Amino acid sequence: LAKTTQPISMDSYEGQEVNITCSHNNIATNDYITWYQQFPSQGPRFIIQGYKTKVTNEVASLFIPADRKSSTLSLPRVSLSDTAVYYCLAHSGSARQLTFGSGTQLTVLP
């Protein structure tokens, strides 16, 4: 399980695009990157997963450069309901457990 580093907190305003960058310098060839979202008093919820280049779904985009040492979660036009903690994980498919760091507390302001 590669160690990841992400900002502790970020603030944004409604309607803006938010980019949260995660560093994973020691990522292994078999590792892929997964992002989760957690609201207070709820379990984390899967947002997006990728291995390289760009992945987009109905919620977010994930940008992974060629060296894969970092990744950026992009949330388009955030709303107040996007206020949550966002976790970045880099792990292999055969990982027996996921370890969550402190995540990034995103606060969306009106």
Closest CB to other proteins among 13 and 100?
Answer: 100
Provide, for the chain, the percentages of residues in helix, strand and coil under a 3-state DSSP scheme, each rounded to the nearest 5.
5, 50, 45
Judged by CB under 8 A, how many residues of this single chain contact other proteins? 24
**The binder of other proteins chosen from 6, 12, 44, 104 (CB under 8 A):** 44
**The binder of other proteins chosen from 8, 43, 66, 110 (CB under 8 A):** 43
CB atoms under 10 Å from CB of 6, counted, come to: 21
Q: Are strands 45-50 and 53-56 parallel, antiparallel or unpaired?
A: unpaired
Contact set with other proteins (CB under 8 A) = 30-32, 34, 36, 41-46, 49, 51, 89, 93-94, 96-103
